[in-house]
Copies of this chain bind each other. A is one copy, B any other.
Amino acid sequence: MFELDIRSRKPIYEQLVERLKELIITEVLKIDEQLPSVRTLAQQLTINPNTIQKAYRELEIQGYIYSIKGKGSFVSSANDSQNTEKLHKVKNDLIKLLSEAMYLGVTAEELITIIEEIQASIGGGIEHDQN
């Protein structure tokens, strides 16, 4: 379920954040569903609990999850107040990446096809090309 690449240059906690976001976005993890506890996950993945902790904290900051002391961490509903700024950031990143892709030769048609596929996969919860 969590395919962490220990060899990647990307810090482990960032990989975790990314992966968990993905699971939330594709609604594998539903709203208010409880995430595995820090310790459990640390054991499962055989990595340092501090690293899990850091990932959860980051997700909380970004508004994807919320934590209740003594109970655990839960998937947050896509809340509105934070969305505005996140949207802004994501759009900016998107423009950069789309520019680069097109500079490298990806056509507008290809991009539209990709968009349509994603649209379908989000709506339906279909499986997703693995990383």
Chain A contact residues, majority secondary structure: helix
Chain B residues within 8 Å of A26, by CB: 99
Given contacts A85-B81, A116-B108, A119-B108, A90 and B101 within 8 Å (CB-CB): yes
Q: List 25 A-B contacts (CB under 8 A).
A: A7-B68, A9-B66, A9-B67, A11-B69, A25-B100, A26-B99, A83-B105, A87-B101, A87-B104, A87-B105, A87-B106, A90-B101, A90-B104, A90-B106, A91-B101, A94-B97, A94-B101, A95-B114, A95-B118, A97-B97, A99-B121, A102-B115, A102-B119, A108-B115, A111-B115
- A131 contacts partner chain B, Cβ-Cβ < 8 Å: yes
* Cross-chain contact B66 with A7 (CB below 8 angstroms): yes
* Cross-chain contact B119 with A76 (CB below 8 angstroms): no
- A1 contacts partner chain B, Cβ-Cβ < 8 Å: no
Q: For the complex formed, measure the closest distance between the CB of A15 and the CB atoms of chain B, giving whole angstroms.
A: 12
Interface size of A by Cβ–Cβ distance < 8 Å? 53
* Cross-chain contact B93 with A118 (CB below 8 angstroms): no
Question: B25, B66, B100, B115: which contacts A90 (Cβ < 8 A)?
Answer: B100
* Cross-chain contact B98 with A94 (CB below 8 angstroms): yes
- A28 contacts partner chain B, Cβ-Cβ < 8 Å: no
